[in-house]
Structures are given as C-alpha cells and as structure tokens.
Structure 1
C-alpha cells in the first residue's frame, strides 16, 4: 500500500538478529576433554620393596619361633592313652641261625608289633663283655601296626675271657620307640637260642683257658629303662 511505510533497515532500524532458516546449521566446535587425573601413588617402589622384605622376615621369625617351641609343647603334652607302651605291643622271636662268617654267630629274629601304631627298633645290645653285636642292614627299623619285620643280628666273639662257656639264659637288650614312649627292655629268646649260642661260643673259644664261668639268670626280663 502506498500509504504504508517500509521498515527501516540499517543502523537505527528495527530489524532483529537474523535467525538461521530451515535447513541451515552452524558448525559444532569440539574441545578436547582434559586428561583424567592419575590416582595418587600410595607407596613408592622402594617403600613397596621394604614392606615386602619386612613381611617376609616377620613370617620367617614366626616360623622359627613355632619350631623352637614345638619340642617343649610336645614334651609337656600328655602321651596318648590309647597307644600302649612299645614293650607291651612288641615281641621278639628267635627264628634260627643264619650261615655267616665262621667267627660270627648270625641269627634271625622276627619282630612282631600288635599295637595300633608303628614301633621303631632303635638298638640291639647284649650283656656279655666278650661279644660284639652287629645288626645287618640299618637301624632304626620300623615295624608297622600288625606287621612283622625280620631282623638279622650277628654276635662276634672278641674276647673269650669275657664270653661264657655255656649261655644258659641269654638275652638281648632292645630299645623300642613309638608315639607314647621310648624304652629299653630285655628279650629272652628261649632255649633254642641258648643252645645255638652256646654251640657258637664253644666253636670260637674251645682250646683256650681264658673263659668266663657259666652264668645263669633266673630272673625274668630286666626292668624297662
């Protein structure tokens, strides 16, 4: 219309900011995110090494202390009452002589264990000064529960003056051990052992005048030590 005035443009006009029309876009500027902060380091490498060394030394010290106190605790603890003494569950039987060197009387023993646990044979000795005991194999020997172990023992004459002319009631001192106790007890092996040992003594010492008089022991087994 002729009477209407056109809107003024330019400085001092009334036009507002130009808005983007449909289908237009403005560029999006992406700013890089700041790097994540590192967690604070609690211990340095040297501090970790020192801490690990301290813990290792502490564990070693506790192990040594426990090992040192174990024998004392075991000694102070009462023995198990359901396990008999080794002398009560172990029996020695004379099997017979075994061919060996002429100067040695070798014999075989059968060791029976009737107890609920194993028994160790630690030593074998005898009471004649002129005889030396030799055990074949090794000691200690373990006799399992309910089992039997064969033990070969040799008696060698080293001094006829300390050996009797006839062994009427010879015995062997044996040392036994199980979880309850350790004992030394005398085992009398019977008439067959006495006869064979006497024959061996005659064969080794006949013809010399240095002989110990025959000894006889009427008492039962020697007390346990």
Structure 2
C-alpha cells in the first residue's frame, strides 16, 4: 500500500469521537430551566401581591364609629290628654288621667318608673312599669294618683310634674315632665275634692 491518507479502522474497531467528554455530560433541555424560572417568578409575584394587600389592609382608613344614641330624655315627650270621666272622689281619694308618650328618634325607650313629687300621694300606671315605646308608635298611659295623706299634698298644685325614669342603650335618667296648665288645673281640682273633708 502506498500513499499517505487517513488510517482506516480495522475490523472490529471504530473511530473515537473527537470530543469524548461530550458523550458523558448530561444535557438538560432548555424548557426545563424555563419552567423552573416561571414557577419561581410566579411564587415571588404571589408573595408580593399578598404583602402589598396586607399592607393596604393594615393601613386602610378606619370607618367612623357609629354615633352614640341620644339620651332618652332628649327624644321622649309626654303630653297630657285628659282626666278620666270618674275624676276624683272623697271616698277613693284618687285621680285618674291619660297621657301619651312618644319616642321621637333612636332606639326604643323603656319606662322603668313613674312617680310624683308629693309625699302624700302614690302613683300607679296602666300598663304597669316597666314598658317600652318605639319610634312611630305613641303609647297611651293611664295614670292613677291616690291621696294617702292630705296633710302632705298641696291644696293648689301650681306646676306639678311627673318624675319618669327612662332607659335606653345610652343611659338611665330620671326626668321631670311638666304636663302644662290643664293638668295643673285638673290635679288641683281633684286634690280639693279628695281632701275636702280634711282639716288643714
């Protein structure tokens, strides 16, 4: 054989790769890294969104608290309607009349007690206390005053009033209601009749 040329592999032999290290190195497809990169970016984005949302929630403006309800005496009115036909008598020494109670706004108001300033008289009501009134539902109350000791009641009631204990979620108050001239006139007349046989 003559001439110079590449050596031909003999039988049972093969040519070595030019870069044998390339066969032993593991190759990773490009998509594998891309998937991991996307997952990592997605996780970071989720954390950022949660952190931002938490910050906005923590620093949000607080709503104004609801205002306190009004004091019960500020929204309660009592009007004198009339004396009952039975009026007063010497025998019973009692005087019965009707008032109307109105709650003008706010939560319901409960009447827990009705009284009057004279030591010689007692008071009962129908409905009996405690009872409740609501906005838009005026309530008629029948009140009976009974003279227990004529020496401790005035012969002429100038500006008589009712002491009414009122309660709502804001407060408990004792409020004096002046019922006006017709009530003063009727009460004075009833006391005069009830105590007409008593010496002063």
TM-score range, shorter chain: 0.5 to 0.7
What is the aligned partner in structure 1 of residue 49 from structure 2? none
Structure with the higher strand share, 1 or 2: 2
Q: Does 1:146 align with 2:169?
A: no
Gap runs ≥5 in structure 2:
1-64
C-alpha distance in 2 between matches for 1:82 and 1:144: 17
Cα gap change, 1:81 to 1:107, in 2 (>3 Å): same
* Structure number with higher relative contact order (C-alpha < 8 Å, ≥ 6 residues apart): 2
Gap runs ≥5 in structure 1:
1-78, 211-225
What is the aligned partner in structure 2 of residue 172 from structure 1? 162
State the SS of the aligned residue for 2:144.
Answer: strand
Question: Is the contact made by 2:68 and 2:170 (CA closer than 8 Å) also made in structure 1?
Answer: no
Q: Deviations over 1:59-102 (max 9, x none)?
A: xxxxxxxxxxxxxxxxxxxx963410000000110001123473
TM-score, with length taken from structure 2: 0.62
**Matched pairs, number:** 132
What is the aligned partner in structure 2 of residue 40 from structure 1? none
Q: Which runs of 4+ in 1 moved over 4 A?
A: none
C-alpha distance in 2 between matches for 1:80 and 1:88: 18
What is the aligned partner in structure 2 of residue 132 from structure 1? 122
Offset at residue 131 of structure 1 (A): 0.8
State the SS of the aligned residue for 1:165.
Answer: coil
Question: Is the contact made by 1:83 and 1:115 (CA closer than 8 Å) also made in structure 2?
Answer: no
TM-score, with length taken from structure 1: 0.56
RMSD of aligned residue pairs (Cα, Å): 1.7
